[in-house]
Amino acid sequence: MKYIDMHCDTLSRAYFDGNNDIYKLDKTSLDINRLKKVNSMAQFFAIYLVPDDEKEGISDEEYILSLLNIFNNTVKNHSDILSVAYSFNDIIKNEKQNKISAILTIEDGRCIDGKLENIKRYYDLGIRLISLTWNNKNCFGSPNSDDINIMKCGLTYFGKEAVQYMNDLGMIIDVSHLSDGGFYDVANLSKKPFVASHSNSRSITNHSRNLTDDMITIIANKGGVIGINFCPKFLDNRELNDENKESKIQYMIEHIEHIINVGGEDCVCIGTDFDGIHGNLEIDSVSKMPLLFEKMNAYGFKYDFIEKFAYKNAYRTIKDIIG
């Protein structure tokens, strides 16, 4: 089964491990070699902006350019199996050539620094999705939080401008990590579909990073998608001790079932968060992705829906947003 994964943090892992190419890596859940073997159709690669104290004294700009260099080196060195996708048509072209489409994203829009021209600059560098926030307030708005007052915060004035600008530019707006207030501002302002690239159901696992049923309904009605996150704490409520939580396919299926019961079959997809998550992962590598589709089949999901979940839903949303 070919598939599209809307989020991984492999570029950051490669950077901190001293790698300048992500074709074959020993310490990660994902690399290009393994993606090819499991028939990956497209992989979103996040430039995750780590906290300042983890960047070894370099600026955000230097860090971003370093990750872009790793990405571009990989594409150049392995152009026979990998190609950048800047548009939906690029994905079609790459698929015809039996190549994986690599799509660049930014996780934490703080680097935009409240300037629309910076959004355009990163767009010109190949970025096609921005996760507006990570776990701290920035120029777009506030993050998800256990603090009710922070969760109520909406987008900043700039954040509201940026939603409209990103719509016009053809850049995907990602609300994973965003506050509830920010989510509703995006929902009210966005003329195009938007996504939660790596978030699950809050009704199943009551974590602020997950989505309420109302949010699921809104994303579905907008034509967006929700990428199932493989992170244990967003999947599993069964263990009281955080250190013992597990990521199991069974838990993923519970979230998938709930999301389609609320929003329908067209709003759920894959957002693994590989190389940004830890714990006892039943699917701890892209090599094991076929297990998910096999288990879904065993649980009684129809093949047509498994195809939607694997790639068709994300495929449609990408087309509608970036064209």
Q: What is the DSSP string of 64-121?
A: HHHHHHHHHHHHHHTTTTEEE-SSHHHHHHHHHTT-EEEEEEEESGGGGTT-HHHHHH
Angle at 5 between CA 286 and CA 213, to 5 degrees: 120
In the prediction, which pLDDT does 136 show? Answer: 96
DSSP bridge pairs for 228? 270
Q: Please give the model's pTM, rounded to 2 decimal places.
A: 0.97
Report how far residue 12's alpha carbon sits from residue 133's, in angstroms, rounded to the nearest whole number: 17
Question: How many whole angstroms separate alpha carbon 35 and alpha carbon 82?
Answer: 10
Q: What CA–CA distance (Å, rounded) separates 85 from 243? A: 38
Each residue of 62-71: pLDDT tens digit? 999 999 999 9
Q: What is the pLDDT of residue 53?
A: 85
Total number of residues shown for the chain: 323
User: What is the model's pLDDT at position 239?
Assistant: 58
Pairing of strands 172-174, 127-131: parallel
**Number of domains composing the chain:** 1
Task: Supply the pLDDT for residue 92.
Answer: 97
Alpha helices in the chain (DSSP H): 10-16, 32-37, 60-77, 88-96, 116-124, 148-152, 157-169, 180-189, 213-222, 232-235, 249-263, 289-298, 303-307, 313-322
Best CA proximity match to 3, nearest among 28, 45, 38: 38
User: Which tokens sit at 259?
Assistant: 């999301």
Residues of the domain holding 189:
3-322
Q: Which of 296, 211, 285 is nearest to 251 (CA)?
A: 296
pLDDT at 238 over 80: no
pLDDT at residue number 56: 82
SS3 48: strand
Looking at the DSSP bridge assignments, the partners of residue 174 are 131, 195
Residues 6+ apart with CB under 8 A from 65: none
Q: What is the mean pLDDT of residues 128-144?
A: 98
What's the mean pLDDT when you consider all of the chain?
Answer: 96
Q: Which helix (H) or strand (E) element contains residue 228? A: strand 226-228
CATH number at residue 134: 3.20.20.140
Give pLDDT tens digits for 155-210: 999 999 999 999 999 999 999 999 999 999 999 999 999 999 999 999 999 999 99
**38-82 pLDDT tens trace:** 999 999 999 999 998 888 889 999 999 999 999 999 999 999 999
Grouping H, G, I as helix, E, B as strand and the rest as coil, residue 61 is: helix
**In the predicted model, is pLDDT for residue 241 greater than 80?**
no
Give Cβ neighbours of residue 198 (< 8 Å, ≥ 6 apart): 6, 7, 176, 227, 228, 229, 231, 271, 272, 273
Instruction: Decide: residue 150, CB within 10 A, 0-12 exposed, 13-18 middle, 19+ buried.
Output: middle
What is the 8-class DSSP label of residue 242? G
